[in-house]
Structure 1
Amino acid sequence: MTRPTSLPLAPSRRAFLHRSAQAVLLGGALGLAGRPARAAAPSVRSLMLDHTHTRERIDLVYASGEQYLPQALGSLNHFLRDHYSGEVGQIDPQLFDLLHRVRQTLGSGVPLSYQIISGYRSPLTNARLRDTRGGGVASRSLHMDGKAIDIRLPGVPLAELRDAALSLKAGGVGYYPRDQFVHIDTGRVRTW
């Protein structure tokens, strides 16, 4: 199982692991008779994430074609755990696809690694934050269901990140310029 590691992860090792995972996933396509390997290769989806609170980094392939990779999903669940309590929740795989699509929308000239402010949040943590943040935390936050994440992308203006997420019309998008993050979720389409 791929586990998050503490920062900094040596770039050559990270690149090696990323390429190795892709090679394993794509290797099966080479044996298909009568088709060029490139045409038969499944679409591979990957993420690079840096957690601002735990100082961990993860870089992995989480899906190949229509199939999510269970080990990768487990690693992402652990990585996006409640950083206050350590409780691990089940993250909606569609949230990973949403992050992947936002990156694609922004294009290839932007940094690859998202900074994560908040992923899963336990009900107890959510209640505590709601009591101490003056109403800035929803009582039925989708963070508690593993369907929301707060992010930024270094080098990309926050408004541009927000606009990329909005353009997908795939869930909720919250814009928090004072706190320097964008909230995205897989709930109903809405904005604030």
Structure 2
Amino acid sequence: MKQPPLPSQPSRRRFLGAGSRWLMTGALLPLAQPALANQPGARSLSFDHTHTSERLALVYALGDAFVPQALTSLNHFLRDHYSGEAGVMDPQLFNLLHQIRQELRVQQPFQVISGYRSPATNQTLRATRGGGVAKHSLHMDGKAIDVRLPGVPLASLRDAALSLGAGGVGFYPREQFVHVDTGPVRRW
């Protein structure tokens, strides 16, 4: 008589493999964050996304080293909110945002209007927004972000970004955001 198959028991190897995949994708990042925040040289950021209603707060760097799982989480969080496509954000952009918060002496989350933008989305916006979108936007390279800080006048946010002399700064008072990027130093 044939024995019925035994219920499948997860092996230790399969369990550890799944755990490492979760860690690689940043799923366990929140568990590690409190320990990282207490490390010397920890740099953190927090965000509220105006289009997806998602929130993210994390330590993205320790000293001179970026935290890989944090960068993965940031790439996903700052994905193209139109298409869902994630790009690879320039980690120096996070240093720039961190410096802006230090300059302003604030801790509140940045409100994100736009992070990564796919080439297709960029082209669609160029065609529908009456020329306000650059043909070779640094958003497509993961080197730009449009933000504001609640409670901070937009002009103060712009001035703090300009004072750093580290990339492009665009001021959009009608749309209520400041564009910052890690491209050449310029302003508009």
TM-score scaled by structure 1? 0.81
* 1:133 to partner: Cα distance: 0.2
Establish whether residue 19 from structure 1 lines up as the match of residue 15 from structure 2: no
Q: What does 1:87-126 correspond to in 2, within 5 Å?
A: 87-107=85-105, 110-126=106-122
* 1:22 to partner: Cα distance: 1.7
**Equivalent residue pairs, number:** 162
Establish whether residue 181 from structure 1 lines up as the match of residue 177 from structure 2: yes
Match of 1:79 among 77, 80, 83: 77
Q: What per-residue deviation string (whole Å, max 9, x for no partner) do you get for residues 43-83 of structure 1?
A: 11111000000000000001000110111000000000000
Q: Which amino acid aligns with 1:21?
A: L
Return the alpha-carbon distance in structure 2 between the equivalents of residues 176 and 114 of structure 1: 16
Return the alpha-carbon distance in structure 2 between the equivalents of residues 88 and 21 of structure 1: 25
Contact kept? 2:115, 2:146, Cα under 8 Å:
yes
* 1:17 to partner: Cα distance: 7.0
TM-score scaled by structure 2? 0.82
> Is the partner of 1:86 in helix, strand or coil?
coil
* 1:2 to partner: Cα distance: 3.9
Establish whether residue 61 from structure 1 lines up as the match of residue 59 from structure 2: yes
Task: Identify the residue that residue 139 of structure 1 maps to in structure 2.
Answer: 135
Return the alpha-carbon distance in structure 1 between the equivalents of residues 62 and 172 of structure 2: 33
Segments of 5+ residues of structure 2 without an aligned counterpart are 1-24
Return the alpha-carbon distance in structure 2 between the equivalents of residues 191 and 134 of structure 1: 20
RMSD between aligned alpha carbons?
A: 1.5
Return the alpha-carbon distance in structure 2 between the equivalents of residues 75 and 18 of structure 1: 12
Task: Identify the residue that residue 31 of structure 1 maps to in structure 2.
Answer: none
Return the alpha-carbon distance in structure 1 between the equivalents of residues 163 and 129 of structure 2: 30
Task: Identify the residue that residue 8 of structure 1 maps to in structure 2.
Answer: none
Q: Which amino acid aligns with 1:95?
A: L
Contact kept? 1:111, 1:155, Cα under 8 Å:
no
Larger radius of gyration: 2
> Is the partner of 2:94 in helix, strand or coil?
helix
Q: What per-residue deviation string (whole Å, max 9, x for no partner) do you get for residues 138-169 of structure 1?
A: 00000000000000000000000000000000
Cα gap change, 1:155 to 1:18, in 2 (>3 Å): farther
Segments of 5+ residues of structure 1 without an aligned counterpart are 4-13, 27-40
Contact kept? 2:37, 2:44, Cα under 8 Å:
no
Runs of 4+ in structure 1 displaced over 6 angstroms? Answer: none
